[in-house]
Amino acid sequence: MPIPLASKEHDLGGLTVKRVLPHMQKKMIGPFIFFDHMGPSDFDAGQGINVRPHPHIGLSTLTYLFSGSILHRDSLGNHLEIFPGDVNWMTAGKGIVHSERETFEVRANPHFIDGLQCWVALPENLCELEPSFQHVKKQNLPTLTHEGVMMRLVVGEAYGMSAPVKTYSPMFYLDIAACADSEITVPNLEQETAVYIISGEIELGGQHFGKGDFVLFEQGDEGFTFTQAGRVVMLGGERFEQVPHITWNFVAYSKERINQAIEDWRAGKFPSVPDDNKEFIPY
């Protein structure tokens, strides 16, 4: 039977975030160890997303927007705006710092934001990789359209498609829009799978789920049916035998490594963001 995982709502400086992972019932799904739905939120002129520089280790961050835009800057010198449908993939490895803000043109006017952010844990033997960054425009992502179903593969491999994002363990992340009565099968029965409903309704394992529901597939759940036209994100991957620790913005397989990262951040040993170095988030 499928297992619904309830989200918890957080207010991050005026931005409403619904957090599903990590969850008490399930710490991670495949390599996905953190899952946030940002918004939907409206902002007045002069207000908006203003996440000061902060560090990460041991993970890749994935930002995927439905509406609005975010200005990404990081300690590798990347400085670009993320738009709906694009993939923003930052691999922290041994350590990176980034900020998430908005351009002047966005901040100076009333605006709207809606999107997902995930953290993807790195395998233990790859946790100390050199940090890297990849941004892929939506037109360069593989898509599949068939009998009322449109899919975009954001990350990983599924249904014979492979996304151009450099990943470090088997996974998939699909954006799916479909009409009523469309049937969707899981990409790989051997991998952990979950679905998050953006709009519409689905039937899975004899149960009905709607907007805002996040549902973990159990063994024997081979797919789901759209009972109403809608949009979902389906994600998952190969199960991790060892679940890493997660503290603040850090993911690691030992408490000692996390404590070292905390001390390094406090001591100013992480690199700074070249064009955004006037402030930071304290531990």
**Domain range list for the chain:** 3-237
Q: How far apart are CA 216 and CA 177, in angstroms?
A: 19
Q: Decide if domain 3-237 falls under CATH 3.40.50.300.
A: no
Q: How far apart are CA 252 and CA 266, in angstroms?
A: 18
Antiparallel, parallel or unpaired: β 250-252 and 32-43: unpaired
Tell me, what's the pLDDT at 14?
A: 67
Asked if the bond preceding 22 is cis, omega within 30° of 0, the reply is yes
Q: How far apart are CA 264 and CA 69, in angstroms?
A: 31
Tell me, what's the pLDDT at 33?
A: 98
HSE-up of residue 2 (Cα within 13 Å, Cβ side) = 24
What the block records as the tokens of 14 is: 């005026």
Q: How far apart are CA 114 and CA 44, in angstroms?
A: 15
Residue whose C-alpha is closest to residue 235's, from 152, 142, 164, 141: 152
Residue 169: Cβ within 10 Å count: 16
Mind listing the pLDDT tens digit of every residue in the chain (283 residues)? 899 999 999 877 668 899 999 999 999 999 999 999 999 999 999 999 999 999 999 999 999 999 999 999 999 999 999 999 999 999 999 999 999 999 999 999 999 999 999 999 999 999 999 999 999 999 999 999 999 999 999 999 999 999 999 999 999 999 999 999 999 999 999 999 999 999 999 999 999 999 999 999 998 899 999 999 999 999 999 999 999 999 999 999 999 999 999 999 999 999 999 999 999 999 9
DSSP code of 122?
P
What the block records as the tokens of 279 is: 């402030």
What the block records as the tokens of 114 is: 């809606």
Q: How far apart are CA 132 and CA 155, in angstroms?
A: 16
What the block records as the tokens of 275 is: 């064009």
Q: How far apart are CA 125 and CA 236, in angstroms?
A: 20
Residue whose C-alpha is closest to residue 73's, from 49, 46, 44: 49
Tell me, what's the pLDDT at 13?
A: 60
pTM: predicted TM-score of the whole model, two decimal places = 0.96
Residue whose C-alpha is closest to residue 232's, from 31, 17, 66, 67: 66
